[in-house]
């Protein structure tokens, strides 16, 4: 006679159960990658619309990298070759990557998954966005690992992080073209804003004849001052900085790779007070000159003037510091980059 056993079911706490759904996958959009590649294979115009947005590295699936690389080679060949199922397959064979790309059968599948190239630019930007997310995750993971290394200098970590972020920005966030209509509208809007302003449209330099020519320093201006050594480039820039910061109350950032910040401010004090640089260097001042110094530097003390004398400052560091200053002081970014050259 068989005995019956009673089985008591165990109660499982689902909150403690780890399933694949709770795992994390890198940001990806494989289906969109397939749609973009398929559209490039069936539409003659599609490659030209996205070839400058994408590159082989942005694709998540390895086979897609080889396919896009072949398309890119055909597009940039001299003369440009047609891009379709047969030419891409032939290019993959020449590269020795046909099997790695999934063979001809996979190429056929890609063409069957898409009906048209509509919204291909939008889809391409999604692929690029996912790649940027993966890149940020990679950089962050490496940065976290380095932060636990006691031997790493913290400022080297900051420089590395900023450099890596800059590379991502420069490599992927490309500005597209604009139509004449949108540019004309922007220009008209700018002209209307200027017409409602009294005086100069830009930031006055304090030099009347120069301002008559430029109407003040304009947003995005790049001004190059070139002259032989000892001709007064630094004095000219300091005078402009003083006029803009003290008289105009506009923030000015001055980056010096030669003179120290104390030397520069001493030259400004000399200009502001009328005391000679020699007297200020020696500290040989009469009682009335001390009073003159204390009274006349008050406006300079309150001026929104920022001087950075970091040696060997790179363009990237200068850009990062300028952005921080704009962010901290909540001012519109009207940056006049002044580069002084000795001929």
Catalytic positions are 258
| 305-308 and 222-227 strand pairing | unpaired
Alpha-helical runs (H) found in 76-179: 85-95, 103-112, 120-147, 154-172
Residue 336 to residue 22: CA distance in whole angstroms = 50
In angstroms, how far is CA 193 from the centroid of its own chain?
Answer: 28
| 337-342 and 222-227 strand pairing | parallel
Residue 207 to residue 142: CA distance in whole angstroms = 51
* Distance (Å) of CA 148 to CA 140, 151, 289: 13, 9, 55
| Angle, vertex CA 195, rays to CA 194 and CA 200, nearest 5 | 55
Q: Name residues whose C-beta falls within 8 Å of residue 215's C-beta, 6 or more positions apart in sequence.
A: 200, 201, 202
In angstroms, how far is CA 161 from the centroid of its own chain?
Answer: 13
What angle do the packed helices 315-329 and 154-172 form, to 10 degrees?
Answer: 90
Q: Max alpha carbon distance in the chain (Å)?
A: 122
| Element holding 302 (H helix, E strand) | helix 298-302
Burial class (CB in 10 A: 0-12, 13-18, 19+), 205: buried
Q: Cβ(174)–Cβ(124) under 8 Å? A: no
């Amino acid at each position: 006679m068989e005995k019956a056993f009673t089985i008591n079911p165990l109660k499982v706490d689902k909150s403690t159960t780890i399933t694949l759904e709770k795992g994390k996958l890198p940001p990806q959009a494989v289906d969109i990658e397939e749609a973009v590649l398929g559209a490039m294979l069936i539409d003659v115009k599609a490659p030209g619309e996205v070839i400058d947005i994408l590159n082989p590295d942005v694709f998540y699936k390895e086979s897609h990298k080889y396919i896009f690389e072949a398309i890119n080679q055909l597009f940039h060949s001299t003369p440009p070759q047609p891009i379709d199922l047969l030419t891409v397959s032939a290019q993959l064979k020449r590269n020795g990557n046909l099997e790695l790309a999934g063979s001809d059968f996979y190429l056929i599948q890609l063409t069957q998954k898409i009906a048209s190239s509509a919204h291909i630019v939008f889809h391409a930007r999604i692929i690029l966005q996912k790649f940027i997310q993966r890149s940020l995750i990679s950089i962050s993971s490496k940065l976290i690992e380095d932060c636990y290394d006691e031997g790493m200098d913290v400022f080297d970590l900051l420089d590395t992080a900023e450099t890596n972020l800059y590379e991502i920005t420069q490599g992927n966030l490309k500005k597209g073209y604009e139509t004449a209509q949108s540019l004309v509208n922007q220009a008209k809007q700018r002209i209307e804003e200027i017409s409602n302003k009294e005086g100069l449209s830009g930031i006055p330099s304090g030099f009347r004849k120069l301002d008559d020519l430029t109407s003040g320093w304009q947003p995005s201006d790049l001004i190059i001052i070139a002259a032989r050594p000892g001709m007064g480039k630094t004095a000219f820039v300091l005078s402009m900085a003083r006029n803009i910061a003290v008289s105009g109350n506009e923030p000015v950032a001055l980056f010096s790779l030669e003179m120290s910040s104390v030397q520069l401010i001493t030259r400004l004090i000399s200009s502001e007070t009328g005391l000679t640089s020699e007297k200020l260097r020696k500290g040989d001042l009469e009682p009335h000159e001390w009073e003159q110094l204390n009274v006349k530097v008050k406006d300079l003390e309150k001026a929104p003037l920022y001087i950075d004398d970091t040696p060997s400052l790179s363009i990237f560091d200068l850009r990062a510091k300028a952005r921080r200053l704009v962010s901290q002081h909540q001012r519109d970014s009207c940056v006049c980059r002044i580069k002084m050259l000795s001929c």
